[in-house]
Structure 1
Amino acid sequence: MLKLGIIGTNWITQQFIDAAAASGEWQLTSVYSRHAETAQAFAAKNHADETFTDLDAFFSRGSFDTVYIASPNSLHFAQAKQAIAYGKHVIVEKPAVANQQEFEQLDAVLKAHPDVLLFEAARQIHEVNFQRVKDQIKKLSLVQGATLTYMKYSSRYDAVLAGEEPNIFSLNFAGGALQDLGVYLAYDAVGWFGMPEEVAYYPTLIRTGVDGKGVAILRYADFTVTLNVGKTSDSFLPSEINGLRDAIVMDNPAELGQITYQDKDGQEHAIGAQPDTNPMLAEARDFATVINDPSNHQTEYLAWRQLSRNVNKLLFNLRQSGHLYFTGEAPDTDK
């Protein structure tokens, strides 16, 4: 049984803990929070043994071998780096880092600790329906492009409208639509089509300076992929990948609940599997499989790391195109 420590006690952490428990591979032992009461309440709810309010103590004395990091985006890099230095495996919520420099620094720390594994929690790439879309793309006689939409109103935007600046809508915390919901679409695009040749991002900025919504254009050799992302409004549009006279249609390219193939005669064929009740179950199982037997799962692990690297590069290049810079970043940062 793998022992798990967590940083962050929000809803997504609870969802991962539930998935980890359902997988039968993990035991939550250690909880970190800046506030003792918060840590103690979360630990009691989930039967964890220890709580910490100091990160050094958490990493040095915590009885866990893997840490799940679900803190604000801007903290992921430093906390993942610290965890690796202490010899802990790392599962970090997407986006794992804000730019390529941080990605390379984590790679350097990993080389100094070759027994440590680092995973970006891009949950949908571990689900069966992600692979079913990929397999169906290979069956298309021609790919002429795709339009992927993930727009979901955030309850935190109410606070922005009230004059506040929540972490997810703050440049100080590497927030914004592209860095949140846009990561799912970036993983779809790169996972299904590879890296584009050219990119452009057209953000709609809100009062706090981040992108509340935006449109990304990814140009490939023979087609274009459009990404529509937003946290300030809802969209109920399906997403699709266009063939010649056929198409792959998805209810939601992040959730991948329903997937159909529409053939040239207009007939619909369901090609998706029933999703897990907890959408993080597949990744919890996959991460445990690799950690328990890394020598026999190097191919999967290295493929995930390369995909994470490419997605990070894509997101960074899109931000540069849209002139979106987080606090402390220079506009002339190399791509």
Structure 2
Amino acid sequence: MLKLGIIGTNWITQQFVEAAEETKSFKLSRVYSRTEAKAKTFADKFKADDVRLSTDLDEFFASEDFEVVYIASPNSLHFEQAKQAVLNGKNVIVEKPSTSNIHEFAELEEIAKAKSVFVLEAARHIQEPIFKKISDFVDRNRADVSGATLSYMKYSSRYDDYLDSQNPNVFSTDFSGGALYDLGVYAVYDAVVLFGQPDAVNYDAEILSSGVDGSGSLTLKYDDFDVNIIVGKTKNSFMPSEIYFGKRTLLFDSAGDITKIQASDEKKHITDIPADKSDNPMDSEAVEFARIINQNDQTTYKQLMKYARIVNHVLEQARMNAGIVFKADKEK
């Protein structure tokens, strides 16, 4: 198994480490946190006495205890931490979006190439078998595609904190927050993987007083159809996502956390499409990323990097279109 270091001790990091160890893809070796107490609490969850702890990033990245680092810090920290990892010869798995803007992405990609290491953006849902069912359906019926509506809206547990003037990271331009750069990434990945790079991007966003988007409607224009993306962190929606094929429709319950797929025929009869769904949605991602690194699979890596490059470009286009400026933009 590949030795794993982690940055971030939140629920998503725990889920990834559980997936990594359950699938025997990675073995947790070192934990970084700003406080030793948090690092120890996280390591203790996995009952691993040989896991080492770090509170200093320079010491963490200089360590030979791990070959791959998983980064799940606030968005604005992804670039500098991933860059430091790459410069220390580490392979990187970084939560999406991997960078705050396309300039950071281009620099990270160039450095990774020079250092001959992998930088993998953790779009875990496109690795799941249930998403691949959707992709296969689209491929078989590509000539009939006539548009899509992708929806991912969930009331954030941190929005109440925001309303209470606590200014959490996810609603701050300092930390590259907002709905688009959180839940919206899933839907943009769906569109890019299924349909490719759009010709034009327009984002009609509900801007909060902090300067980030609380929700919004994103339109991606392709040659013969549009993909409409509805995203939000300030309200709940139960609207399914749909891909249109003229009189027929493919339905799935979420643009991000897909658990059910259905197909409607020309007579509007709806049938379920059987699909596998793991209890841990990161299982497939952990297995595939470990395989890419172990086998030095440059072909798959280049395809994933292409997706990531397009997604990050679309995100920035949409953000600029809506007038959302991050602190990271001003630092360039």
TM-score range, shorter chain: over 0.9
Alignment of 1:181-196 (within 5 A): 181-196=183-198
The aligned counterpart of 1:40 is: 40
Provide the rounded CA distance (Å) in 1 between the counterparts of 2:171 and 2:119: 26
Q: Name the SS for the 2:329 alignment partner.
A: coil
Alignment check: 8 A CA contact 2:69 2:91 kept: yes
Spell out, residue by residue over 1:208-260, the C-alpha distance to the aligned partner (whole angstroms, 9 max, x if none).
21101011011111111100000011100111011111010011121121011
Q: What SS is found at the alignment partner of 1:242?
A: strand
Aligned 8 A contact 2:72 2:94 in 1: yes
Contact between 1:5 and 1:62, CA under 8 Å: does it hold in 2?
no
Distance 1:137 1:61 in 2: 45
2 CA distance for matches of 1:328 and 1:119?
Answer: 21
Change (3 A) 1:38 1:62: farther
CA distance in 1, matches of 2:283, 2:314: 27
SS of 1:43's equivalent in the other structure is: helix
Equivalent position to 1:109, from 80, 95, 111: 111
Identity across aligned pairs (percent)?
A: 47
Which residue in 2 is equivalent to 1:204? 206
Q: Distance in 1 between matches of 2:114 and 2:139?
A: 39
* Number of aligned residue pairs: 329
Please say if 1:122 is aligned against 2:143.
no
Shift of 1:126: 0.5
Q: RMSD over aligned Cα, in angstroms?
A: 1.4
CA separation in 2, counterparts of 1:298 and 1:272?
Answer: 32
Aligned to 1:21: 21
What residue number does 2:275 align with?
A: 273
Q: How does 1:112-151 map to 2 (within 5 A)?
A: 112-114=114-116, 116-140=117-141, 141-151=143-153
Q: Which amino acid aligns with 2:140?
A: K
Distance in 2 (CA, whole Å) between partners of 1:50 and 1:272 is: 43
Contact 1:66–1:89 (Cα < 8 Å) also in 2: yes
**TM superposition score normalised by structure 1:** 0.95
For residues 297-324 of structure 1, give each alpha carbon's deviation from its aligned partner in whole angstroms, at most 9, with x where no partner exists: 2211110011000100010101111111
Alignment of 1:70-81 (within 5 A): 70-81=72-83
TM-score, length-normalised on structure 2?
0.96
Q: Is 1:320 equivalent to 2:285 in the alignment?
A: no
Q: For residue 13 of structure 1, what is the amino acid of its counterpart?
A: T
SS in 2 for 1:269: strand
Change (3 A) 1:56 1:251: same
Q: 1:29·1:49 contact (CA, 8 Å) conserved in 2?
A: yes
1:310 aligns to 2:310 (yes or no):
yes
Structure 2: segments with no counterpart, 5+ residues: none
> How far apart in 2 are the matches of 1:13 and 1:328?
24
Partner SS state of residue 329, structure 1 = helix
| SS of corresponding position for 1:102 | helix
Q: Shift of residue 145 of structure 1?
A: 0.8
Which SS does the other structure have where 2:45 is aligned? Answer: helix
Task: For 2:125 and 2:26, locate their aligned partners in 1 and report how far apart those are by CA, in whole Å.
Answer: 20
Counterparts of 2:64 and 2:34, CA distance in 1: 15
Secondary structure of the structure 2 residue equivalent to 1:120:
strand
* SS at 2:236 equivalent: coil
Moved more, 270-279 or 96-105: 270-279
Shift of 1:328: 4.5
Contact 2:92 2:120 in 1 (8 A): yes
1: distance between equivalents of 2:111 and 2:246? 47
Letter in 1 for 2:159: Y
> Given the alignment of the two structures, is residue 167 of structure 1 paired with residue 174 of structure 2, yes or no?
no
Distance 1:138 1:36 in 2: 49
Equivalents in 2 of 1:176, 1:321: separation in Å?
14
Cα shift readout 1:152-171 (whole Å, capped 9, x = no counterpart): 11110010111110011100
